[in-house]
Amino acid sequence: MPLFNICGVTSTNKTFQVAAVFLSGETEAQYSWAIVMLYRLLLESKIPMPKVTVTDRDIALMNAFSRHPVLDKVPHILCRWHINMNVLAKTKQYFPKAKYNPATKKAIHDPSFQEFLKTWNTLIYSPTVQDYEKRLEWFKCPGVHPDGAVQYCLNTWLSPWKEKIVFCYVDQHRHFRFTMTSVVESLH
């Protein structure tokens, strides 16, 4: 039974539990019900609406938020850590395998993969739209990075969600550098 954990963060970086809801499934209908209950709680308790929400890329949850008549106006950011973990996991297949270093007991990624990840991070940390567009053109330049890795990033993340990921868009909202869900992970 999935747990939908709704948390907040104070101005002093303290996390607090708003609600914890056991759902019978992770469907849009289940999330919609939980969001309606959250909205009622906020109204009845005279708690201000959130200024921003940060979630992972759960399409059912994102759809439930986007269909709520009030909470759909709250800026939504996708968790940068979850995005980067997905990019790491899904694109490494397009690069030479990592080599194990017995001295450090760690896998060392191929330099081409390290460069790809560096370029990806430079892209999503673009401070202006002009920087983003310029970096995106370089990222998409044929032969610079494996096409499969680039297409994964474009199709899965940037084309549908750039406004929820790339700094020049995300920074238009007051988020106090909370762009990851890790601050509330300890409440699970």
0.75 exceeded by pTM: yes
Same structural domain, 138 and 102: yes
Phi/psi of residue 3, each to 5°? -105, 120
Say yes or no: 94 and 159 in one domain: yes
Q: Are residues 67 and 88 in the same domain?
A: no
The pLDDT confidence band at residue 1, using thresholds 50, 70 and 90, is confident
Q: What percent of the chain has pLDDT over 70?
A: 93
The answer to whether residues 123 and 92 belong to one domain is yes
Q: Is the pLDDT of residue 60 over 90?
A: yes
Q: Indicate whether 30 and 46 sit together in one domain.
A: yes
The DSSP letter of residue 153 is I
pLDDT tens readout for residues 99-117: 888 888 888 899 999 999 9
> Same domain for 45 and 86?
no
Q: E strands of 13-121, at which residues?
A: 15-22, 53-55, 76-78, 99-101, 106-108
Q: In the chain, how many domains are there?
A: 2
179 with 80: CB under 8 angstroms?
Answer: yes
57 and 90: one domain? no
Range of the domain at 149: 81-167
67 with 120, same domain? Answer: no
Question: Are 148 and 179 in the same domain?
Answer: no
Q: pLDDT band for position 120 (50/70/90)?
A: very high
CA dihedral 13, 5, 48, 83 (to 10 degrees): 70
Residues 92 and 116 in one domain: yes
